[in-house]
Structures are given as structure tokens and as C-alpha cells.
Amino acid sequence: MLKCRDVPAEAEALLDGELSLGRRVALRFHLFMCGNCRRYLGQLRLLLGAVPQMHGQASDEEVDQVLKRLHDHSH
């Protein structure tokens, strides 16, 4: 039987597309029974969805510097 303690690793394998059918079924069954782990998976999915944006946008200066070097390079 899958324990809550095992769920974080299994949840990541699920989100990475690394979980076999058998392990997926075991995880689904645990989630069906356990609200804490349902919450954990939902919030982990939310968190990982936010990672691409965590560095924020470049400043005008940074963008200008990249474009200037690009311009210098092509001339």
C-alpha cells in the first residue's frame, strides 16, 4: 500500500510522465482516499507551472544590451 510519505516522489514521477500504469493506479487509489495528498498534488502542479515565470522579465537595459551586441555582430 502506498503511504502518504511515498506520495511526493510518486506525484513528481506522474508529472514527469515517468509513472508506469501500475504505479499510476496505486497513486490514484491513494489520492481517492486521502485529501491531504490530493491537495499536495494539486499544489505541486500549480507550483511547477509557475517555475517558467519565476525569473521575471528582463529590464530595458538588459534587452537593449542584447540587441546592441546583435546589431554590432551583424555589421
35-74 positions binding other proteins, by CB under 8 A: 36-37, 39-40, 43-44, 46-58, 62-63, 66-67, 69-70, 73
Query: 29 or 62, CB closer to Zn ion?
Result: 29
Question: Is 5 an interacting residue with respect to other proteins (CB under 8 A)?
Answer: yes
Q: Is the dihedral of CA 19, 25, 30, 35 positive or negative?
A: positive
24-63 positions binding Zn ion, by CB under 5 A: 34, 37
Q: Which amino acid is at 65?
A: Q
Question: Is 21 an interacting residue with respect to other proteins (CB under 8 A)?
Answer: no
- Cα separation, 20 vs 50, whole angstroms: 26
Question: Is 24 an interacting residue with respect to other proteins (CB under 8 A)?
Answer: no
- Cα separation, 28 vs 24, whole angstroms: 6
